Amino acid sequence: MSQYPVTPDGRYFVVRGRLWRCSNPQLSDEEKQRLTAVLMAARRAKGIAMRAGDEGGREQARQQVDAAKIALGERGLVWWTDGAPDVNRHMVKNTNYAAWFAALENGEHG
C-alpha cells in the first residue's frame, strides 16, 4: 500500500482520487497477516467460482471477502473512536482531506 498516499491520520489511502479505508493499525502483525491470507484466499475462490459460472460459490466467496475486510477494519464499523465520519470510497476532493490531497498533488509537503 506504500505506493499510495495515506491520509495524515492514517485512516485512508488514496487510489485515483478515491479514499479507501486502511486496516486497523491496532491489529497485531500476526493477526493482520492471517486475515490478509484469508482475504486473498477468498478473492481467489471468488474468481474461480466466477470463471466456472458457480453463482453459489461466488456468493459464498463474496461473503468470505466481506467478513475478512470487516475483521481487518476496512469495512463495517470504523476502528477510530473520535466520532469522525467514515468517508470510505468517497472522492478525496469531496472530503475534509481535499486540501491535504491538493497540496500533495502540487508537490507541497506538510
Taking the C-alpha atoms of residue 94 and residue 19, their distance in angstroms, rounded to an integer, is 10
Taking the C-alpha atoms of residue 92 and residue 19, their distance in angstroms, rounded to an integer, is 6
Whether 17 and 32 share a structural domain: no
Provide the strand spans (E) within the chain: 12-15, 18-21
Query: Could you tell me the pTM of the whole model?
Result: 0.86
Whether 42 and 66 share a structural domain: yes
Range of the domain at 109: 1-22+85-110
Task: Say what the alpha-carbon torsion angle 101, 106, 109, 110 is, to the nearest 10 degrees.
Answer: -40
Whether 3 and 34 share a structural domain: no
- Residue 80, in any domain of the structure: no
Taking the C-alpha atoms of residue 13 and residue 7, their distance in angstroms, rounded to an integer, is 6
- Cell numbers representing residue 82 in the block: 473520535
Whether 16 and 32 share a structural domain: no
CA distances from 64 to 31, 74, 89 (A): 16, 14, 20
Whether 14 and 35 share a structural domain: no
What is the count of structural domains for the chain?
Answer: 2
In the chain the first and final C-alpha atoms are separated, in Å, by 20
Whether 17 and 44 share a structural domain: no
- Cell numbers representing residue 103 in the block: 497540496
- Residue 96, in any domain of the structure: yes
At residue 55's C-alpha, the angle toward residues 50 and 58, to 5°, is 55
Query: Which pLDDT tens digits describe the chain residue by residue (110 residues)?
Result: 458 999 999 999 999 999 999 999 999 999 999 999 999 999 999 999 999 999 999 999 999 999 999 999 999 999 999 999 999 999 999 999 999 999 998 877 55
